[in-house]
Amino acid sequence: MKAEAARLGFATVGFAPAADDALRTARLHDWIAAGHHGSMQWMEDRVDVRQGPQSMWPEARSVIALGMSYAPEVDPLALQGEAEKARISVYAQGRDYHDVVKKALKALARWLVAEAGRRGLDEPSLKVFVDTAPVMEKPLGEAAGIGWQGKHSNLVSREHGSWLFLG
């Protein structure tokens, strides 16, 4: 599976149990209680389903966490001294990452279903997300071993820094 994920453009892959995690849940509740969600009331209203994948899908057993690199070819700080040039955030310079990552996730899901069939296994039930569902991608990525959540709230990878789109 890792080879197929790499072929589809994913730079890193990890696996984690889908069970709700008490520490992640406590951190989420503390974050909400501190008001860090700002005006995003929907986060507070739906905090119960954000606790973990099994809060939404009790039958979920595993999480496949994937990261797709969007690291720039040129150091973006190289333009810092050129005030006459506009600077656009690196992640916004390409195609919409939701579309790019979701397309690759769906292709990997199709491959997993086909691979299960080739091996005579039951067809897996799969769901794919690119920050469009109430799942905590960064803590799940950390649990899957692809990085850790930095103080800037992004997932940080030893190999890829914080230049990863998560799915």
Tokens encoding 102: 């979701």
Q: What is the pLDDT of residues 88-133, one digit of tens each?
A: 788 888 888 999 999 999 999 999 999 999 999 999 999 999 988 8
Q: Domain limits at 131?
A: 2-166
Contact call for residues 115 and 143 (beta carbons, < 8 A): no
Percent of the chain, pLDDT > 90? Answer: 62
Task: Give the pLDDT of residue 141.
Answer: 96
The pLDDT, as a whole number, for residue 42 is: 86
At residue 49, the pLDDT reads 86
Cβ–Cβ < 8 Å for 127, 106: no
Tell me the catalytic residues.
Answer: 131
Domain count, the chain: 1
What percent of the chain is modeled with pLDDT above 70? 99
Say if CB 155 and CB 146 are below 8 A apart: yes
At 19, is the secondary structure helix, strand, or coil?
coil
pLDDT at 102: 97
Distance CA(63)–CA(96), nearest Å, equals 24
Segment 3-16, tens digit of pLDDT: 999 999 999 999 99
pTM metric for this prediction: 0.87
State the Cα–Cα distance between residues 36 and 82, nearest whole angstrom: 34
Give the CA distances from residue 72 to residues 23, 69, 162, 164, in Å, rounded to whole numbers and listed in that order: 34, 9, 12, 11
The beta-strand segments (E) located in 60-131 are 62-69
Per-residue pLDDT at 73: 83
